[in-house]
Amino acid sequence: MSSRPNPKRFRKTVGFRLTAWYSGIFILSSVFLFSFSYFYISSSLKKQAQEAIASRLSELSALYQTGGIEAIEREVTGYKKFERKDPFLIRISGPQNETFLLILPSQWMEFDVRELQDIASGSSITWTYLRGGNGKDSLEVASIRLSDDYVLQVGKSIEDRERILSHFRRNFLVIAALLIAFAFAGGAFLAFRALRPIRHIISAVRLASSGRMDTRVPSTDTDDELGELVTLFNQMLKRIETLIEGMRDSLDNVAHDLRTPMTRFRGIAEMALRSDKDPNVCREALTECIEESERILRMLNTLMDISEAEMGAMKLHLERVNVCNIVEDIVDAYIYVAEDRGIAVHTRFGKDLWVVADSTRIYQIMSNLLENALKYTPRGGRIDMEAKSRDNEIVITVKDTGMGIYEEELPKIWDRSYRGDQSRSQAGLGLGLSLVKAIVQAHKGHVGVSSQPGKGSTFTIALPVTD
Ligand code: ADP
């Protein structure tokens, strides 16, 4: 893999695209905001200036009605302030555009007022612009037709307005440059920060695919979607790690547990070969081989079941199951064996004990427990199978009056391949209780045992009542 930066690839990265989108939207919003403010300020200033001109125009037009040009002249020469702070252009022209009165402040001498044509129509104000000689400055002029066909014109420079707007434009350009730089930097920073968990996940996946299943993505300590993704991803890695370890352990256990029966298997075959082709010995050996292979097969299946259940990989066909029906079926199935061995089997259960479980597996573990009770209880004994509901659980007990278990053996009986010292005389693989525990735990339940040597044992299974 090449580590050189590839600009084409960089442009395709989510980080780059996020930054570009973020900056683009930021810049567009700024331009929109500027245009709106510019338009708003510009039209407000124009409206304000035109209102001032229109008010002066109507003032002077009223004066003209009462005293003619002389009245205006008198008024205007009294307004010395026009000249200085807030100058106005005032002109009265005749029908041929000849000027009868002209007040033109000294700073506007370059304007040619003859360019102001007779554009006034009716009694409404008409607006026009008079360009200065330098082409920069211009006057905004309002014209109105007076009663005797003369035209009154009042104008004002738009220089102040233009100055404010050009300041605004200049400042905006500076601010926009800063904003664009900020948008890029901010966008890149946000994209970098937001995508950090993704980068961590990518490197964790790289490590995991190279066999490092103990790798984990650093937690983001946030409650957002990426934080959830990281947590779920770590949980998945942990689960895969557990499964792989479980498979490795199972393989070790199976290899270890099969060694003895396979050696015995081979021993039987070798003995038969050495028996000088005596057909009876050979037949016996073949029968033993079949029995041994069946035992191995059973052992293999049980070991695989235990491993799957312990790793959480066992496929459970969950359904609503009435526990009483299963217990009854099992007792029916074993009742002849029990009678044969002179053991009485009693059942007691409440009504409607429903759990969500895999009925085949529940049947399997219950028969394991009953089989053990029958195996380890002497003739004349008694077995009680009970099922009841307790604290959101269905509790099933199998109680026998058998040989019991020594206290020091109690914790070991759930281990794989463990067989009690006193039980060696009975057939068994030492896997029955391991399977019971693994399946019950796969159903999120728990197991328990209490026993008194020589008096009997009570095995308990508790299954949660779930919807
Ligand atoms: P197995 O019965 O094939 O030996 P299990 O896993 O079923 O294997 O049981 C493990 C051990 O627990 C048995 O060897 C026995 O010592 C003890 N055990 C199980 N059930 C009973 C019981 N009902 N009474 C006494 N001992 C029991």
pLDDT per residue as tens digits for the range 26-45? 888 888 988 999 999 999 99
Q: Is the CB of 153 under 6 A from ligand 1?
A: no
Helix (H, G, I), strand (E, B) or coil at 385: strand
Q: Which tens digit of pLDDT belongs to each residue from 355-370? A: 999 999 999 999 999 9
The better pLDDT of the pair 335, 183 is held by 335
Q: Which of 418, 423, 437, 451 to mutate to test the pocket of ligand 1 (most atoms within 8 A of CB)?
A: 423
Residue among 371, 419, 426 to mutate when testing ligand 1 (max atoms within 8 A of CB)? 419
Alpha helices in 218-322 (DSSP H): 225-274, 279-311
pLDDT, tens only, 274-326: 877 778 888 888 898 898 888 888 888 888 888 888 878 788 899 999 999 99
Ligand 1 neighbour 295 (Cβ under 6 A) = no
CA of 358 to the centre of ligand 1 (A): 24
**SS3 assignment, position 273:** helix
Decide: 375 and 431 in contact? Cβ < 8 Å: no
Q: Which two tokens stand for residue 428?
A: 């068994």
What is the per-residue pLDDT for 176? Answer: 85
| 302 CB within 6 A, ligand 1 | no
Q: Compute the distance from residue 341 Cα to the ligand 1 centre, in Å.
A: 18
For residue 168, the tally of other CB atoms under 10 A from its CB is 15
DSSP letter string, 102-145: EE--GGGTTS-GGG------TTS-EEEEEE-TTSS-EEEEEEEE
- The span from the first CA to the last CA of the chain, in angstroms, equals 52
Given a cut of 90, is residue 186 above it in pLDDT?
no
Mean pLDDT for the chain overall: 85
Q: Is the pLDDT of residue 78 over 70?
A: no
- Over residues 92-119, the mean pLDDT reads 77
Residues found in the chain:
467
If one residue of 377, 413, 416 were mutated to test the ligand 1 pocket, choosing by the most ligand atoms within 8 A of its CB, it would be 413
Under the banding of pLDDT at 50, 70 and 90, the label for residue 122 is low
CA 361 distance to own-chain centroid: 36
Q: SS3 sequence, 32-49?
A: HHHHHHHHHHHHHHHHHH
- Given this model, what pLDDT does residue 114 score? 74
377 or 186, higher pLDDT:
377
Query: Alpha helices of 376-442 — where are they, by DSSP H?
Result: 432-442
Spatial contact of 313 and 439, defined as CB atoms under 8 Å apart: no
List Cα–Cα distances, 259 to 88, 248, 432, in angstroms: 116, 17, 19
Residues contacting 377, CB < 8 A, separation 6+:
341, 343, 383, 400, 401, 402, 403, 456
pTM of the model: 0.57
Question: Distance from the CA of 210 to the center of ligand 1, in angstroms?
Answer: 44
318 DSSP 8-state letter: -
Predicted pLDDT of residue 1 = 42
Instruction: Find tokens 């270890």 and name the residue.
Output: 256
Closest-lying ligand 1 atom to the alpha carbon of residue 418: 10
